[in-house]
Structure 1
């Protein structure tokens, strides 16, 4: 295992058509590459540094990046995204091209899980394995919806003034608490600090709401998780209020080469106390 103090951390911008994508890489480029893709409205900061460093210490070359409308990547006017969900999956491949990587292990969290599934389905040969954290198989219906409490919380989003950054921050703090599991206490101060850091870093944080306009569209209607040909690892908390555990279990039913790693009491989050367990699971899944 490579000592953390010796890890090389670099940053670069990858250009694709009209977009610039801010990236950061951890570890040795000669090691197997792992590309991390975060969920809705979330920049790469939501991949904890300890998570990235832990994977790199396991002998992986780890890359995280800001998706469009997050962090330091290209932003678009609110309610006018100049891209589609298909573009987000193509962006993942553009990152590989930018790093001159032929094929990589892709890890997606929540909406990022949908992005990596589409990338694997549309760009066969570029993806070695998939790891889906707190996500759901594309094209699969009949799965349980969010908990009643989370639905009630989400409904409150319709009353928010999305041009008011403090109102957004308050909602995101409450959202973080609602997404927490039962295994560990929610760290409200750490969550507050991360949200503040994320919002301060983005030149137009409100633009991240464009992600919601991409969800529920029909452009990926022909895509189905059952067509995935790469090995799949689903990591899912048993107390996930947004995508109940049945979503994680569904991967093992519809994907030929899939396994499920349950995080007992885990929520829709990457909790600091679960990082070591997650890293070990991903390291086994991506072993040469």
Structure 2
């Protein structure tokens, strides 16, 4: 229990675990520009109470993990994948249930495809394989926000950064699901823990990717659960339907009214039993 800095894949990453080490391990992989704070502590505890050893961590350039200058990440998408593999080896005995959200879902796909022996089960949350002609486009308001982004905050002013990030989260939330007080609490916690929020905000977006996975989804052998918001404006639900269709025997859990956002507490009574059921397979 508690945060720890571990040396993996040549860098220092900040991790935190919940539950007994002897229980089946679940590795939680965050999305773009998201520290492990977005895997809510209470959600992690509920999974641990269900008999799981839960591992969350700060991706590079988030939280207290290794950080690079803003706009100049010294790593690639392949390094982020190798970080996850290294954590599975170090903290999970070489095999884990892996749960990835958004960009973390892309990382999880690569781990499942290229390192199948490390993955007992795969859970993909609010993610995709990327844009494709037969997949629905992001909503126009999201495209407009990317084309004309909000002005940067003063990165030296924590409260200005908090306000900026909260408004960014509002944009991606479901139409009736945004709990500003809850989101503000998570954001404030993340900002307080993070070495350099400007690097967090900028660096993942310019990291060289690891290639599309759609043509390789048939190689996924791990039992797969796809969890997706029914009101996701960034990856509309058709992306989840595609994943569930093209990954062999994958199951789909659609969350009504939820957007492209960390799993809100209102979903936990559905999500936690689903994750515990899905990860009941032994990892040994």
CA offsets 1:184-212 (integer angstroms, 9 cap, x no match)? 3x211221222122112111111111100
Q: 1:228 to 1:100 in 2, by over 3 A?
A: closer
The equivalent residue for 1:175 is: 168
Supply the distance in 2 between the matched residues of 1:169 and 1:155 (Cα, whole angstroms): 22
Matches within 5 A, 1:87-236: 87-99=79-91, 101-137=93-129, 142-157=134-149, 159-160=151-152, 163=155, 168-182=161-175, 184=177, 186-208=178-200, 209-214=202-207, 217=209, 219-221=210-212, 224-236=216-228
Report how far residue 284 of structure 1 moved. 1.1
Q: Distance in 1 between matches of 2:147 and 2:141?
A: 10
Question: CA 1:141–1:115 in 2, change beyond 3 Å: closer, same or farther?
Answer: farther
Alignment of 1:2-13 (within 5 A): 9-13=1-5
The residue that corresponds to 2:256 in the other structure is 264
Q: Indicate if the aligned counterparts of 1:153 and 1:175 stay in contact, CA closer than 8 A.
A: no
**Distance (Å, rounded) in 2 between the aligned partners of 1:175 and 1:154:** 11
Instruction: Tell me the matched-pair count.
Output: 277
| Paired residues of 1:138 and 1:225 also in contact (CA < 8 A) | no
Aligned partner of 2:246 in structure 1 is 254
Q: Which moved more, 1:190-199 or 1:35-44?
A: 190-199
Q: Say whether the 8 Å CA contact 1:181–1:265 is kept in structure 2.
A: yes
- Residue 157 of structure 1 aligns to a residue whose secondary structure is coil
Between the aligned partners of 2:173 and 2:21, the Cα distance in structure 1 is 34
Provide the residue aligned with 2:280 in structure 1. 287
CA RMSD of aligned residues (A): 2.0
Mapped to 1, the partners of 2:160 and 2:240 lie a distance apart of 32
Per the TM alignment, residue 274 of structure 1 is displaced from its structure 2 partner at its CA by 0.7
Q: Normalising by structure 2, what TM-score? A: 0.90
Give the match's secondary structure for 2:116. coil
Preserved CA contact (<8 Å) 2:153 2:164: no
Structure 1 residue 236: Cα displacement: 0.6
The verdict on how the C-alpha distance between 1:169 and 1:20 changes in structure 2, with shifts beyond 3 A counting, is: same
How has the CA–CA distance of structure 1 residues 158 and 85 changed in structure 2, closer, same or farther, with 3 Å as cutoff? farther
- Gaps (5+ residues) in structure 2? none
Q: Distance in 2 between matches of 1:164 and 1:157?
A: 20
Separation of aligned partners in 2, 1:148 and 1:169: 25
Alignment of 1:26 with 2:18, yes or no, is yes
Once the 2 structures are TM-superposed, how far is the Cα of residue 100 of structure 1 from its aligned partner?
5.0
**Cα pair 1:144 1:244 within 8 Å, conserved:** yes
TM-score for both structures, normalised by structure 1: 0.89
Distance across 2 between alignment mates of 1:97 and 1:249: 31
